[in-house]
């Protein structure tokens, strides 16, 4: 059977009689079953994601600083080597929120907020896909593709999760509007300026003119990715302009098209909403120029796309899928979708970090074509009063039994999650399961007992954790949150020490480094060389980290610990043979 671009759901179509039976009203089919199972698995997975030891702790530290000082920092408050470099805190509202959550609920609260935020985001994405396709199964398939393509980005707890929540809200409204912002090919050319199949309802207009600008008002204060959202919105306007202009060849009709005017006004209002931030236009400029920071070229997630990596494979696979769908689909190819996919593809090639944003616009653009290419199977409710020699196959039936299974899946997905377990009297999630495996918790316990007084050299990825959980006022060398604020010369010197390049000892002397903290697994060469430094002594070591220092108090503490270990009495409770 033929499928149009915006079909109604067959699952909800009425039967021959005007009053459907209760059995049919409460019946579901396999698409709903798969969808419930998919979201139950997502909720369970997000609830078990570990908190990574990198920049999340820098954001919590920033949030506590902002709350304590009741102002935004002009300079990085935790990195003395970045002193004098002006700071624009693009995620200040997220940081305050993280700090308040930690203050009220501890580290488990951060884990729960991540799970709830990301899960809600993917539910909203699914809703946007459903509004575009009208099919439950296709929407769930699209949700799976989204998770697959962005798999390297979805398990990281940082302010970016609020940016993806905002773009999900925006896409829901945009998908809703596209049911009215569509081109009627049967209309005459001279009528195309008023080309509209349906009149937009008041609720949609309020969502466009009020809802989207409010989203960008919050987004601009939550995370710097709001510029990506403005690009998505602006290309929706540009796409409509090109569609009308191509078909009418008239600038007058382009300017008089109602949806051209609507998207222009919505974009303008969204820009005005985003300007309501503490930095005003400077935040726009900072967000646009941020990827050009020279220090980011050495950060893994800001490197260009490597087609042999997982992100490169998924990216290439996405383009192959897109070309195949465009070849076989009869659904309309929207100009705005092509523009968005093209722009974000270029962004991914330049910096692999953008793969998450590419996956959003890519799947959003492909949903109508998936619905057009994949045939629809009509779902029927078996009539127990009719004796049929050929029972309906599972893939063609919907029954109350499947509905009951769906409810059970949803319940189990919630009941066995780490969020719900304490509500039912279960044990709290152990902290070892909350923190990621590479978090140097034992290291910071030692440092709090014996705080270094001089300049400490540390791995950049541990810097935020050391600031957060280490001794107050410890002079760390580098943090993930301050890479872009660090002077390029300091950043190059940091890399020279981290890679144990020739002359690294001289560079360390230039900064008067008195203590080295080394990640033994990731910095094998540096680990070997710091052990041979003259005047330095190993003062702490575990399976994960190594600390060498020339500070007398740290050396004395290490010597005292060695003496105590050597003087420990032999266990006298050993079993004695008669």
Residue at 397 is within a domain: no
| Contact of 473 with 481, CB cutoff 8 Å | no
The whole-number average pLDDT for the span 414-433 is: 83
Name the β-bridge partners of 181.
none
Q: Is residue 518 part of a domain?
A: yes
61: pLDDT strictly greater than 60: yes
**Rounded distance, CA 302 to CA 293, Å?**
10
pLDDT band at 313 (very low <50, low <70, confident <90, very high): very high
| Beta strands across the sheet bearing 513-519 | 455-457, 513-519, 545-549, 537-541
> What is the average pLDDT across 15-31?
64
**Which stretch of 57-61, 140-144, 572-576 has the lowest confidence by average pLDDT?**
572-576
Least confidently predicted of 181-195, 232-246, 512-526? 181-195
**In percent, how much of the chain has pLDDT > 90?**
65
The residue range of the domain holding 217 is 196-290
**Mean local confidence (pLDDT), 75-100:** 93
For residue 388, the model assigns a pLDDT of 52
Report pLDDT for 184. Answer: 54
Q: Which residue has the higher pLDDT, 510 or 572?
A: 510
Examine the fold and report which residue of 290, 312, 347 is the final residue of a domain before the chain moves on. 290
Give mean pLDDT, residues 392-420.
Answer: 82
User: Domain for residue 191, yes or no?
Assistant: no
Domain boundary among the residues 290, 315, 341 is at 290
The whole-number pLDDT of residue 23 equals: 64
352-393 pLDDT tens trace:
989 999 999 999 999 999 999 998 776 666 655 555 555 656
Task: Confirm whether 550 is domain-assigned.
Answer: yes
- C-beta of residue 454 within 8 angstroms of C-beta of residue 515: yes
pLDDT, averaged across the chain: 87
Higher pLDDT, 179 or 364: 364
For residue 19, the model assigns a pLDDT of 45
CA atoms within 13 A on the CB side of 69: 12
Residue finishing a domain among 250, 275, 290: 290
The residue ranking higher by pLDDT, 572 or 404, is 404
The CATH code of the domain that includes 555 is 3.40.50
Confidence of residue 192 (pLDDT cuts 50, 70, 90): very low
Q: Is the pLDDT of residue 568 over 80?
A: no
pTM: 0.88
Higher-confidence residue of 164 and 403: namely 164
pLDDT of residue 8: 45
pLDDT over 80 (residue 420): yes
pLDDT of res. 189: 46
Would you state the pLDDT for residue 191?
Answer: 47
Alpha helices, DSSP H, located in 309-351: 310-328, 335-350
On whether residue 386 sits in a domain, the answer given is no
pLDDT at 424 over 70: yes
Q: Does residue 42 carry a pLDDT above 50?
A: yes
- Tell me the pairing of strands 513-519 and 455-457: parallel
pLDDT for res 365: 96
Tell me what pLDDT residue 53 has: 84
The reply to whether 184 falls in a domain is no
Does pLDDT of 517 surpass 90?
A: yes
- State the total domains in the chain: 2
DSSP 425: T
pLDDT for position 391: 62
Q: Compute CA 276 distance to the chain's CA centroid, rounded to the nearest angstrom.
A: 24
d(CA 230, CA 212): 10
Q: Are 57 and 464 in contact (CB under 8 A)?
A: yes
Domain membership flag for residue 101? no
Question: What pLDDT was estimated at residue 383?
Answer: 58
Q: Is residue 82 part of a domain?
A: no
- pLDDT tens for 478-488 read 999 999 999 99
Element housing 287 (H / E): helix 281-289
């Amino acid at each position: 059977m033929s499928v149009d671009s915006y079909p109604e759901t067959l699952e909800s179509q009425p039967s021959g009689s005007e009053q459907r039976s209760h059995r049919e009203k409460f019946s579901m089919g396999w698409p709903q079953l798969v969808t419930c199972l998919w979201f139950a698995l997502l909720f369970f997975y997000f609830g078990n994601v570990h908190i990574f030891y990198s920049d999340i702790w820098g954001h919590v530290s920033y949030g506590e600083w902002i709350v304590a000082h009741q102002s935004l920092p002009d300079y990085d408050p935790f990195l003395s080597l970045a002193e004098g470099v002006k700071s624009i805190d693009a995620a200040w509202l997220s940081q305050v929120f993280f700090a308040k959550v930690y203050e009220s609920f501890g580290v488990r609260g951060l884990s729960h907020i991540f799970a709830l935020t990301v899960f809600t985001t993917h539910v909203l994405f699914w809703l946007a896909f459903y509004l575009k396709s009208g099919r439950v199964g296709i929407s769930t398939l699209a949700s799976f593709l989204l998770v697959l393509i962005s798999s390297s980005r979805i398990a990281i707890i940082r302010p970016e999760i609020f940016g993806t929540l905002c773009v999900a809200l925006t896409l829901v409204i945009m998908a809703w509007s596209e049911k009215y912002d569509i081109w009627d090919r049967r209309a005459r050319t001279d009528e195309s300026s008023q080309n509209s199949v349906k009149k937009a309802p008041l609720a949609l207009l309020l969502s466009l003119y009020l809802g989207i600008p409010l989203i960008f008002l919050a987004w601009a204060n939550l995370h710097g990715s709001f510029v990506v959202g403005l690009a998505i919105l602006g290309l929706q306007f540009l796409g409509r302009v090109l569609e009308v202009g191509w078909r009418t060849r008239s600038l007058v009709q382009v300017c008089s098209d109602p949806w051209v005017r609507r998207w222009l006004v919505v974009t303008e209002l969204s820009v005005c909403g985003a300007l309501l931030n503490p930095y005003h236009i400077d935040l726009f400029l900072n967000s646009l120029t941020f990827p050009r920071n020279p220090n980011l070229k050495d950060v893994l997630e800001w490197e260009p796309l490597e087609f042999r990596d997982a992100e490169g494979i998924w990216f290439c696979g996405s383009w192959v899928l897109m070309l195949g769908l465009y070849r076989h689909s009869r659904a309309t190819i929207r100009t705005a979708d092509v523009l968005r996919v093209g722009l974000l593809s270029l962004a991914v090639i330049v910096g692999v970090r953008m793969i998450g944003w590419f996956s959003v616009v890519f799947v959003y653009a492909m949903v109508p074509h998936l619905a057009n290419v994949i045939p629809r199977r009509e779902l029927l409710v078996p009539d127990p009063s009719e004796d049929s020699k050929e029972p309906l196959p599972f893939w063609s039936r919907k029954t109350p039994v499947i509905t009951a299974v769906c409810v059970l899946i949803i319940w189990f997905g919630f009941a066995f999650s780490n969020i719900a377990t304490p509500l039912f009297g279960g044990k709290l999630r152990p902290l070892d399961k909350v923190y990621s495996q590479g978090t140097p918790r034992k290291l910071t316990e030692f440092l709090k007992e014996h705080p270094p007084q001089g300049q400490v050299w540390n791995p950049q990825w541990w810097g935020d954790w050391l600031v957060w959980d280490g001794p107050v006022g410890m002079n760390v060398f580098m943090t993930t949150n301050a890479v872009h604020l660090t002077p390029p010369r300091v950043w190059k010197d940091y890399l020279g020490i981290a890679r144990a390049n020739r002359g690294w000892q001289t560079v360390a002397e230039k900064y008067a480094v008195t203590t080295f903290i080394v990640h033994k697994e990731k910095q094998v060469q540096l680990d070997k060389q710091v052990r041979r430094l003259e005047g330095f002594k190993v003062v702490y070591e575990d399976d994960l980290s190594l600390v060498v220092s020339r500070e007398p108090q740290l050396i004395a503490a290490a010597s005292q610990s060695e003496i105590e270990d050597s003087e420990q009495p032999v266990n006298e409770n050993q079993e004695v043979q008669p």
